[in-house]
Amino acid sequence: MIQRIQTIYLFLAALVSLVLPAFISLYSNEAGDPVFVGDDSIALTLFSASGILSLATIFLYAKRQNQFVIGRLNIILNFALLGVLVYHSQLLSGGTAVLEKGIGMVLPLISIVLIVMANKAIKRDEDLVKSVDRLR
C-alpha cells in the first residue's frame, strides 16, 4: 500500500535527509565560512543513512512491524546526527547561536517529526488490521 499517508511522511523525511543538506549550510566554521554536509564526513554518513533508511522503509509496506522498528531506528539515528551537529556548534566560538551557525541544524528535528508521524500512521494501520482479524 504505497498510497498510504506514511509513505508521504517517509518520502519527505528522505527528502529532508538526502536533498536539503546539500543546499543548506549546517554551521559556520571559525573563519565564518558555511560548512555544508559534503565538508563533514560524519554528518554526510548520518544524513545519507537516515535518508536511505527512510526510502527503504517505504518499500516494506507489507511488513508493518518491520516498518515501525526501522522507523524507530531512524529516529535514534537522527538524534545521533543532532548530537553530532550540536557538538560541532559547541566547538565553535559563540555557543548555541543557531541562526549564526546555520539552519541546517534543524533538519534532523524535522526528519524526526516526520518519522514519528509516519510511525503513528503505521501503528494505526496495524491496529486496524488487528481489529478486522478479530471480527473474522
The angle at the Cα of 97, spanning 26 to 49, to the nearest 5 degrees, equals 25
20-29, 60-69, 86-95, 123-132: range with lowest mean pLDDT: 86-95
Helices and strands of the chain, counted as H and E runs: 6, 2
Provide the mean pLDDT of the chain. 85
Q: What is the mean pLDDT of residues 4-17?
A: 93
Mean pLDDT, residues 20-25: 87
CA 44 → CA 38, 70, 75, 85, 136, distances in Å?
6, 20, 16, 11, 49
pTM: 0.86
Instruction: Report the C-alpha gap between 28 and 26 in whole angstroms.
Output: 7
For the stretch 34-73, pLDDT in tens is 778 888 889 999 999 999 999 999 998 888 899 999 999 9
Please indicate whether residue 84 or residue 94 has the higher confidence score (pLDDT).
Answer: 84
% the chain with pLDDT above 70: 89
With a cut of 80, say whether residue 102 has pLDDT above it. Answer: no
Q: What confidence category does residue 92 fall into, taking pLDDT thresholds of 50, 70 and 90?
A: low
What pLDDT sits at residue 99? Answer: 42
